[in-house]
Structure formats: C-alpha cells, structure tokens
A and B are shown apart, each in its own frame.
Chain A
Amino acid sequence: AQTVTQSQPEMSVQEAETVTLSCTYDTSESDYYLFWYKQPPSRQMILVIRQEAYKQQNATENRFSVNFQKAAKSFSLKISDSQLGDAAMYFCASKPNAGGTSYGKLTFGQGTILTVHP
C-alpha cells in the first residue's frame, strides 16, 4: 500500500522568487515512481516532473526540480523564478514500478494550493 502526504495546504510566493512544496510518502514497494502534477483552475491534471526511485539523481525540468530523499521518504518540488502561470494546485503522487512508468495506480497527496503574487 502507498500513502502520500502533503502537509502544506497553501503556499505563496512572489513572482521571480523560489518556492518549495513538500511531500512525504510511504510505500511497501521496493521500486516506485514519484510525480508532481499541476492542476490549474481548468482542473486538468498536468505532469510537471517525474522521479524514478532507483535513480539517485534528482529530476529537473526547466524551472522545476525535485529534492528526493529516499531514506527519509521525502520528495519536495522546487519552483525557481516563479511565474504567474505557476499558480495552481500541486499534487504529489506515487506509483509502484510493477509495470514500469506506464502501468499502475497513482496514489495522490491532498494537494498544495500555490499562489503567485506579482
């Protein structure tokens, strides 16, 4: 079984500054994937970044990067140079690696609402 916890219901950041969203997880799986999804007001789920648990190196995607601490079961998202368009709900999620990156149930955290101030 997997659980994902996001302890920050809301966060705010000034435009152009950096913000970090926290996520912790628990899993009985030996291998798994971790994800951050963005949900803007349109409510579409958009993949921001993905981390394979067996990879030591933290994933990076342009202004988005993660700090993956496997022993601590922590997976935080750092957004650099925040933009107004980053304002959204952000969900952390995990998935067993039974089927690779493609197959399997996603378990989501409760979400963090990010506000970006101009």
Chain B
Amino acid sequence: EPEVTQTPSHQVTQMGQEVILRCVPISNHLYFYWYRQILGQKVEFLVSFYNNEISEKSEIFDDQFSVERPDGSNFTLKIRSTKLEDSAMYFCASSGVRDGYTFGSGTRLTVV
C-alpha cells in the first residue's frame, strides 16, 4: 500500500537554528498538508499546498514557516529560526482526486 514517508523521524535542534522537515507524498496525489501536534494536545492544521502554491494556512503558519515542493517528489517544511514552542510532532499528509488523506509517521522535533 502506498505510504507517505517523512524524514527524519526525530530531530533535535538548537533554538534559533533553521530546520527542514522532509516528506515524500504518495506519487499520484495532488494535495499536500502539514499538521502539528504538541505533546498531549490536539492535531493542528498548518498549511495546505496545491498546484505549487499554498492554498490555505493557519494562524500558526507565520513568516517563520515556509513550504516547498522542490522537485516532483519531495514536500518540505522549513522553520527559519526555531523556538522552544516549536517542539512538536509534525505530520505530513497527502490526498488525491479520489483518495482520502494519508498521513506520514511524523517527525518529532525537539528544540533545545
């Protein structure tokens, strides 16, 4: 069964550093998403991406965040200058015209 692949599974970074989280969506999917889950809390929408541009973003997705689909397969989330409160599980997801959402296994980001 096709999967959404996220790397790394766990990343530790120092406050103020830039971090890039990587995702390989399912190959024939057209819509891509990032969600965030702070430990013990609910899953929150960050951004959706379609046709090489952001289609919707939440209030959380401020200027520190950016997304990119640099080639035909990868979908990345960049946090420019990490803060302690960015520590969370970050989920990538993709969906197709006829397929529902598929989530990746997540990247646990720890900012120290």
Contact = CB atoms under 8 A, between A and B. Distances in A.
Do A and B share a complex?
yes
Interface stretch (A44-52, A64-72, A74-82): A44-52
Interface in B8-60: 30-31, 33, 35, 37, 41-45, 48, 50, 56
Interface residues of A, number: 22
Interface in A70-118: 91, 93, 99-111
B106 A47 contact: no
Given A103-B31, A105-B45, A44 B95 contact: no
Q: Which of A43, A100, A107 has the most CB of B within 10 A?
A: A43
Given A102-B31, A105-B56, A45 B95 contact: no
Contacts of B106: 43-45
Interface in A2-55: 42-47, 50
B100 A101 contact: yes
Contacts of A109: 42
Given A45-B91, A108-B42, A102 B105 contact: no
B95 A102 contact: yes
Interface of B: 30-31, 33, 35, 37, 41-45, 48, 50, 56, 89, 91, 93, 95-101, 103, 105-106, 108
Contacts of A91: 42-43
A42 B31 contact: no
B35 A110 contact: no
Contacts of A108: 42-44
Contact of B100 (A102, A105, A111): A102
Nearest to B39: A43
B105 A106 contact: no
A44 B43 contact: no
